[in-house]
Chains A and B, each alone.
Chain A
Amino acid sequence: MAPRQSAKLRLQLLERMLLIRRFEELNIEIWPRHSYMGRQHLYIGHEAIAASVGLATRRSDVVNTTHRNHGYVLARGVDPGKALAEVLGREGGTNRGRGGPWHISDKAHGLLTTSAQLGGGLALGVGAAFGLKGRRSKAASVVHFGDGTMPEGLVYESFNMASVLSLPVLFVCENNAIPERGGLLAVKRWDDVPRALSIHCEPPVDGNDAGAVYALVERSLRRIRRTGRPVFIQPNVKAWPGSHKAVPEYTTGVTDLAMAWEPRRNAGPHAAWNRTDPILRMARTILAAKQATREDLTAMDARIGRRLQRALAYAEASPFPKPRSAFQGVFA
């Protein structure tokens, strides 16, 4: 169980998680009229992890994400309008339309690049830590990856490198138990290998419990800054049933925040998923601790909704890049 946390922290966690959820829902909503967006890898169900990292990291820290990158981008404070414009391939996007939905990045927010190759971001994050250390920065490098990445050889090479070079890396293994292509890996626990390579490993944490994830991330970052050595953590999340749809759809419906205080609203085939939904769970925690009222939470949701409507207006009004500009920016 997470320690008693302040109203401020819990509300911040909830607000970031809800922003991510509503952003992803907006992606599903607008897909039919922008179907060129192609395959969307949504972050629904993982929100507690990105929100925790977003709040626990410093501005100088760097974050390498997975192909489900929208969550981290928003959690690190990137403007949702610019992020959405990038999803739509517009000139006003974070990457001026070059990267698209899988490659959103923003150096100003410590998001250097987003690799959509399994293991690619993890390895680059170790390199980023090498750079930070070499430049005598006190910053840390956080790398997010899924359990599906674990069979990639590059992962082990990078664990070893981070360990022998004593690099300030936080390895965040987001275990949603939907490994790519069978996920055959002959270990009993995901942390068997990093542990064998002398990386400090924390026991798995319930990734749907935002308070617990935040506490673990915060503690791990402190440890990294103190020791200068890597730490491996493993938040276990429940896979969102829509995670593997080629065309995004409201598999579990639009999130109804009122389910947090009216459990009877939660029925149907996805009732179990809703019960463990990290967002509804945090809302329940806040209400039970009387740290906010239902009206406060509804108002927060409405505020996020208005912010995203402005983001959508910006993104859709942003022009497509000029075709000839395709040649620009190949070299520095």
Chain B
Amino acid sequence: MPKKTYAAAFVDGINLAMRRDKELHLIGTGFGGRFEGVLTKNHAARIFDPPTSEGAMAALGTGAALTGMPTMVHFGTSAFMLEAWNQICHEAAVSHYMTAGDIDVPVTFHGFHGVRVGGAPQHSTSPQAMAANMPGLEVVLPSTPYDAKGLIMSALKSRNPTVFLNHTKLMGIEGEVPARAYEIPFGKADIKRRGRDVTIVATSWMVQVSLQAAEQLAARGVSAEVVDPRTAVPLDVKGILRSVRKTGRLVCVDETPEMCSIASEVAASVAQHGFAALKAPIERVCRAPSPTPFSPPLEQFTVPSAKTIAAAALKTLPGRGRGAGRRA
């Protein structure tokens, strides 16, 4: 299978979706770096580079979607989505329900989220938990090039408003991506690494960090399973429970602050529906409850790392790695 970067796979998915659906329009560019040329080459008439007017951009995409024309709106850093929060949360999210299903809202809102190094308090936002808290929005959080392509193709076909968040740090990673068009259904968790001792549930960039943690744990004789829900809404609680029933231990990792985070939702769902399967208290590893500071040592301290994730996993295991670590 050909290898592609995450950015190339993401653009590839948009290109194929625009080829599939001749009405799909793109509002905003600048999400795929040098790979974007293919879009302007093939679909220039359906791409509009707007002035910096986030509220009007979101409403432009939403209003067009109300007439049946699917749109994707790109905001750059997802921090700027908050300037369009009313249009996303109180117009796009509610219109289908408010019209008793008379109207569909096929709009995709895209932005880069996360601590990207040096973003400081205003350019490091991860709004996925806030979006997930607004009924009516689908929330998509890919973690690999393969998922980015399949999930954006699903998002651009979806009849619902979708908040699609890519982590800046993911854009350069490489992975196997088929050249063909394919869709990944929403609400289907993917096991990114199989294991038997502890389940780590993570999304977006944190999946990659959790895979590093799983490596560290393996060196200490602990077999960690990394489960990626891929979409926060809908959330594949059943898929997560399947893994927890096998391991009996759960670590929830999230780059959003712990309060009302995706990690907290996963933890609550497992506690409610899978309590009997748990052999240890659930651990959460989240962003610190502070604005994101600029200074590098502070910034690093506020986000989960492979080390803090591995430490949380070991905490769920009495005997800390079954002695294997001591031998290593």
Contact = CB atoms under 8 A, between A and B. Distances in A.
Interface of A: 36-39, 89-90, 97-103, 115-118, 148-149, 151-154, 179-185, 320-327, 329-330
B171 to A, nearest CB: 14
Interface in B245-298: 288-291, 293-298
B122 A116 contact: yes
A101 B294 contact: yes
Contact of B295 (A98, A149, A330): A98
Interface of B: 28, 30, 49-56, 79-80, 83, 117-123, 288-291, 293-298, 300-302
A150 B118 CA distance: 26
A320 B122 contact: no
A95 to B, nearest CB: 8
B323 to A, nearest CB: 31
Contact of A149 (B30, B52, B289): B52
Contacts of B294: 89, 97-101, 103
A226 B220 CA distance: 74
Given A101-B294, A103-B294, A151 B118 contact: no
Contacts, number: 107
B116 to A, nearest CB: 9
Contacts of B291: 98, 330
A135 to B, nearest CB: 27
Given A184-B51, A327-B290, A89 B296 contact: yes
Contacts of A185: 51
Report whether over half of chain A's contact residues are helix, strand or loop; otherwise say mixed.
loop
B123 to A, nearest CB: 7
Contacts of A323: 297-298, 300-301
Nearest to B49: A182
A89 B295 contact: yes
Contact of B120 (A100, A154, A182, A183): A100
A102 B120 contact: yes
> Which 5 pairs show the lowest CB-CB distances between chains A and B?
A100-B294, A38-B118, A97-B295, A89-B295, A151-B51
Contacts of B302: 326
A90 B56 contact: no
B53 A151 contact: yes
A117 B52 contact: no
17 contacts: A38-B117, A89-B295, A98-B294, A100-B118, A100-B120, A116-B120, A117-B79, A180-B51, A181-B49, A181-B51, A183-B51, A185-B51, A320-B295, A323-B297, A323-B298, A323-B301, A327-B290
Given A102-B120, A330-B291, A152 B53 contact: yes
B293 A98 contact: yes
Contacts of A117: 79-80, 83, 122
B297 A103 contact: no
Contact of A99 (B30, B83, B120, B300): B120
Contacts of A39: 118
B51 A90 contact: no
